Amino acid sequence: MSDLVSGFRDPDVARRIIDELQRVATRPCKLMEVCGTHTMAIAKNGLRDVMPQTVKLLSGPGCPVCVTANAEIDLAIEVGRQPGVILTTFGDMIKVPGSYSSLSQEKADGRDVRIVYSPLDSLTIAENNPDKHVVFLGVGFETTAPAVALTIREAASRGLENWSALSLHKTVPAALEALVNDPDVQINGFILPGHVSTIIGVEPYLFLAEKYSVPCVITGFEPVDVLQGVYMLAKQLADGRAEVEIAYKRAVMQDGNPAAVAAMNEMFEATDAEWRGIGVIPGTGLAIRPEFARYDAKKRVPVTPPEPREIKGCQCGDVLRGVVLPYECKLFGKGCTPEHPIGPCMVSSEGSCAAYYRYTDYGKA
């Protein structure tokens, strides 16, 4: 283990932070870890079990697979069903259930659905299959969107006419505003996502502190990172402050990654997007700009998906809002497991339900 990592897993350091947290966290509070990787880290390292009784950690909508709405999955499936289309996707989208099917089921039924490890891989597939139209399914937040933007630029540079992207990307900050205004949640502070923040920096979150007086801390994913972030939030609450602080300075700069943001702005424009469990949030989607329409699968492969329907009994949407904890869903660990997921929160390794199931005893007999 490198010295850089080992320091953030040091049990003695963790215990000291826990002791300080016990001292300052005197008032009840609900803190939401926005990122699915934080949820996984918290569950894997047993951090919920060391929280003061006053601190309740809630999972949020930071798993890109989980927040992709059924209607969007249905759209991707319908695109993949069109003659001559090769649909390429990251592997974590394969098993996500839509209203009536999944990409895994479509592949089993003979559709040409392929897993890629980079958007650039889909360009290679397009070059090797000039008689097919290759579509890359773009999901995720500001973390993955720049890579897709640069892939669109590369497709234009290569003059590829048989490739396009289906952009289902979403942006995080405005979704947090929707949660702040959700009366069912009443969040007192946000553990902000480390990966997204490496791209966008601090400024896009400032309104949460300035307009809503909600403390925020950007932190990393090791146990000490997470504990430090929770401590800093508890300290803000104890001091009566609301700021956006960085506890992950080894990775996150104040202004993020301007080059990555510029690439997104070049290729995408804001549009409305549907978030599972939250609904349509204006301006949180990333649509391919009209000047790059020849690389927009929504224009190149127009389809009409079926009317979406929700999965009976699945409370993934409520989990993503922090209204219920994963094990409070009646399907958790019964019909729904990582091996046989019913809802998307049990599919991805970043899914809250999958993290609880794999790393905790909550909800298990």
Residues 171/197, Cβ–Cβ less than 8 Å: no
CA distances from 101 to 70, 205, 309 (A): 10, 37, 11
Over residues 162-178, mean pLDDT: 97
Kindly indicate the confidence band of residue 199, based on its pLDDT and cuts at 50, 70 and 90.
Answer: very high
pLDDT at 2 over 70: no
**Assigned token pair, 338:** 């990582």
267-289 as b/e: b if 16+ CB within 10 A = bbeeeebbbbbbeebeebbbbbb
In whole numbers, what is the pLDDT of the chain averaged over residues? 95
Kindly indicate the confidence band of residue 5, based on its pLDDT and cuts at 50, 70 and 90.
Answer: confident
pLDDT at 34 over 80: yes
pLDDT at 293 over 90: yes
**Hey, which residues does 269 pair with through a beta bridge?**
287
| C-alpha radius of gyration, the chain, whole number | 21
What's the confidence (pLDDT) of residue 3? 65
Higher-scoring residue by pLDDT: 7, 10 = 10
Helix (H, G, I), strand (E, B) or coil at 290: helix
29-35, strands of its sheet edge to edge:
55-62, 29-35, 189-192, 216-218, 244-246
CA distances from 308 to 144, 273, 286, 314 (A): 26, 15, 21, 15
**Assigned token pair, 236:** 């803000």
Helix (H, G, I), strand (E, B) or coil at 81: coil
Kindly indicate the confidence band of residue 350, based on its pLDDT and cuts at 50, 70 and 90.
Answer: confident
Pairing of strands 268-275, 279-288: antiparallel
* Other CB atoms within 10 Å distance of the CB of residue 83: 6
What's the confidence (pLDDT) of residue 45? 95
- Indicate the residue type of 351: G
CA distances from 229 to 28, 49, 93 (A): 17, 16, 30
- DSSP run (H or E) holding 55: strand 55-62
φ, ψ at 337 (rounded to 5°): -140, 165
Instruction: Tell me how far apart the terminal alpha carbons of the chain are, to the nearest angstrom.
Output: 36
User: In degrees, to the nearest 5, what angle opens at C-alpha 102 toward C-alphas 104 and 358?
Assistant: 75
How is the chain split into domains, by residue range? 1-310, 316-359
Residues 319/326, Cβ–Cβ less than 8 Å: yes
What's the confidence (pLDDT) of residue 7? 82
With a pLDDT cut of 70, the percent of the chain lying above it is: 98
What CATH topology corresponds to 1-310?
Rossmann fold (3.40.50)
Residues 113/102, Cβ–Cβ less than 8 Å: no
What's the confidence (pLDDT) of residue 362? 75
Tell me the pLDDT tens digit for each residue of 51-85: 999 999 999 999 999 999 999 999 999 999 999 99
C-alpha dihedral, 357 to 360 to 363 to 364, nearest 10°? 80
What's the confidence (pLDDT) of residue 365? 56
- Indicate the residue type of 76: A
Q: Tell me the helix, strand and coil percentages in the chain, rounded to 5.
A: 45, 20, 35
Over residues 144-172, mean pLDDT: 97
Kindly indicate the confidence band of residue 1, based on its pLDDT and cuts at 50, 70 and 90.
Answer: low
pLDDT at 113 over 70: yes
Helix (H, G, I), strand (E, B) or coil at 144: coil
Tell me the pLDDT tens digit for each residue of 208-262: 999 999 999 999 999 999 999 999 999 999 999 999 999 999 999 999 999 999 9
pTM assigned to the model:
0.93
**Assigned token pair, 156:** 């234009």
